Amino acid sequence: MEVYLVENAPWNIGSERQEFIGVGAHLFAIACKRSFEAGCEGCVAFDANTGLVDYYVRALRAEAMGANRLFIATPRAKQLVDTYFEEGGT
């Protein structure tokens, strides 16, 4: 499954006004859950901005497919879904 675009609200990115933490990971957990529901084994692919590639590899444990092309494989997708959804979903 492909994630076309994920963005946080500008006011919620690394500032004193930041109200929510972990929004990006939660959005990817939703995408992984939908991937499981669609029969895609939770796998999610996406293109990252160059400055965020290392962040996604660290924070989401995404894996590289190319320069800026990343994916979340089934084992990590299951962890994300289980973390952000009480009922799991995998």
What distance in Å separates the CA atoms of residue 77 and residue 36, rounded to the nearest whole number?
A: 9
Question: What pLDDT is attached to residue 48?
Answer: 87
Residue 70, strand partner residues: 46, 64
pTM for the full predicted model? 0.80
Q: 64: alpha, beta or left, given left = phi > 0 and alpha = psi -120 to 50? A: beta
Question: What pLDDT is attached to residue 3?
Answer: 78
Per-residue pLDDT of the chain (90 residues; tens, 9 = 90+): 787 665 555 554 565 665 545 667 888 999 999 999 999 999 999 998 888 889 889 999 999 998 889 999 999 999 999 999 977 555
Question: What pLDDT is attached to residue 2?
Answer: 81
- Residue that the structure tokens 């494989």 belong to: 73
Question: What pLDDT is attached to residue 46?
Answer: 93
